Amino acid sequence: MSLRDTIEAARKEAEEAGSVPAASPKASKAGEAADGGDRPRAGFTRRSVTRARPAREAASGVRVISSEKVRRGSQSASGKAESEMTKEERKAARNARRDEEDRRATLSRVLLNQRPEFRKSQRVWWALIGSGLVITLVTWAITYFYPEAATNPSSPAGIVMLVAIVFAYVAIIAAFVYDWRKVRPLRRAADAEVASMSSKKVMALLEADAKQLEQEGKAKKK
């Protein structure tokens, strides 16, 4: 008998005696799977670490220029903060901010005038204001031609004058209430729409409106 057969026979006798547990194929495979599962995958780990890295911040010597801050005048076109600007640069920034605000206010009015509901509301508002002013002029005329109306409210002229004054106040107050309830929300919506636009888009819309007005003027002359 060879040495290998002797060792194999001794192992079998030990397994039968119970001193050495028999190795199960499934257990060995499970152990190998467990060992393999515990080992970290190098590729996944590298990707996870890369993704977890924070984005690089701008260097301390690099100026980040914000178009919104430049538009508000809190930053110059070169990237300087308002506290770092010279007197001339602050003046130029203020002028640029005013120009930007004027352009946006003009565009807001242009957009409002293009909306039918705003034009209708303006006609109603002017009608109420005009009525109040006309009735006020009537009361002045009554007091001019009938001076006793101011001193004797119980006279016919005085009664007419009091009624006219009441109607004038009602028309003017109604005009302000109508402006607050109907017209102001339209203005705010137009302002919000313009505020969401970039400066480039504002300029493009203003130029388009100017060209349209020019074409309409040429058409009227013909």
By mean pLDDT, which of 27-41, 83-97, 193-207 is the weakest? 27-41
pLDDT band with cut points at 50, 70 and 90 for residue 136: very high
Domain count, the chain: 2
pLDDT at position 26, please? Answer: 46
DSSP secondary structure letter of residue 84 = G
Same domain as 117, residue 34 = no
Q: Give the SS3 label for residue 1.
A: coil
How many percent of the chain have pLDDT more than 70? Answer: 64
Say what the pTM is. 0.54
Question: Mean pLDDT: which of 28-37, 51-60, 80-89, 125-134 is highest?
Answer: 125-134
Of 17, 35, 51, the last residue of a domain is 51
Does 87 score more than 50 pLDDT?
Answer: yes
Separation of alpha carbons 67 and 77, rounded Å: 8
In degrees rounded to 5, what are phi and psi of residue 129? -65, -45
Does 42 score more than 70 pLDDT?
Answer: no
Helix ranges (H only) for the chain are 3-17, 25-38, 42-52, 67-72, 87-113, 116-145, 148-151, 156-178, 184-195, 199-221
Higher pLDDT, 141 or 2: 141
Question: Mean pLDDT: which of 40-44, 89-93, 144-148 is highest?
Answer: 144-148
Beta-bridged to residue 75, according to DSSP, are 81
Separation of alpha carbons 199 and 208, rounded Å: 14
Residue 168 lies in a domain: yes
Torsion, Cα 149 152 156 162, to 10 degrees, reads 70
Same domain as 217, residue 109 = yes
Same domain as 120, residue 29 = no
Same domain as 216, residue 112 = yes
pLDDT at position 95, please? Answer: 87
Mean pLDDT of 62-80: 55
Same domain as 47, residue 108 = no
73 membership: H or E segment, kind and range: none
37 lies in which domain range?
3-51
Residue 66 lies in a domain: no
Does 172 score more than 50 pLDDT?
Answer: yes
- Dmax (CA) for the chain in angstroms is 151
Q: How many alpha carbons fall within 13 Å on the CB side of residue 81?
A: 4
